[in-house]
Structure 1
Amino acid sequence: MSNRDYANRKPAKGRAKSTRRKGKAPAPRRFPLLLLLVTLSLVGGFGYFLWSINNSADTPQTVVVEQPKKTVVKKDPNDLPPKPKEEWTYQQALENKKVEVDIPDAEKTKPARPYQMQCGSFRTQSQAEEMKAVIAFQGLTANIRKVKGTTGDWYKVSLGPFDRKREVERKRHTLQRAGINGCIILFWEG
């Protein structure tokens, strides 16, 4: 198989040559005058249409029917009723009013189940102590609880209890900045 260079190939003798003459520039293109006239007429017609429908919705359409000895004016059934006059009375009604707010007691607003945050569950107490130390370097106090599971004893590292979820979220973001991810928020179990 032969490789041919089609990019630099010169036309063979006897083949058709280009129709353009050498040394002469192509003829300049004329400005499309007809296209310009059609465009201007369409734009002008659209502008006239918009001008003609301007404010046509504001004028009521009435039909005058002349009968012998009597002129009757009938309104168009598609006309809208006139706009109602806006009246605001709440400003005068609220001038001398007082608002009373009941502030609930702090004991009633305290959540029934406060929050806690668990940051790890380990097989050995030494691993739990390491996690507790890392948390202590962030200025937080953690607790270690020993829990009996189906597969043996577990040491859970947790923080809390917290009254509001916002506090727990703030502490979790502090730990995430320190590289401790995976802390979960739970309800306090007592």
Structure 2
Amino acid sequence: MPRDYVRRSKPKQNGRSSRSGGRGRAPERRIPWLALTLVVLLGASLGYLIYLVKGSADTRTATTAKAAQTTQSPPPAPVNPIDQRPVEKWRYIEQLENKEIVVDVPKEQESNVRYQMQCGSFRSADQAEQLKARIAFQGMVAQVRRTEGSNGVWYRVVLGPYERKRQAEQDKHKLLRANVNHCAIWNW
């Protein structure tokens, strides 16, 4: 004979059904007496230790003061200048206020030394013109010069002439920031 296990139920306890999964009341929380006792003992021992240290410091100063009164103090020793802390006195401010610095600047000599900068040398005129255009976008004027040598025709992109090398260096750095590399400065 088949049994019906689903409808089978246990008797009710305290007017509640037993379908709650056998869960009863939650256990009551216990007070952790051991932990509380340890914390109180630790706090009390720390307080006692502070009391002892504080009390010993007071007695030491009192005993040293009494000992100093009972014994005769010797005359004070002469002060050693090495033991004293030096007093800083800054004198350079007064010295520099009235100081005049003379700098000899050499006069520029008239020379025929001029500088040029070559930024590229190409076999085709189109490549040289493209580089010239990139340089023009940076606000500088370049020239394309055609030269014939033993190994053929070359088209050189040249900037200048510059009176000073410093001017050529400034333009070179400006071109380097614009990714125009391989520029060389030479005397003309």
Task: Place the TM-score, normalised by the shorter chain, in its bin.
Answer: 0.3 to 0.5
Q: Which has the larger radius of gyration?
A: 2
Greater fraction strand: 1
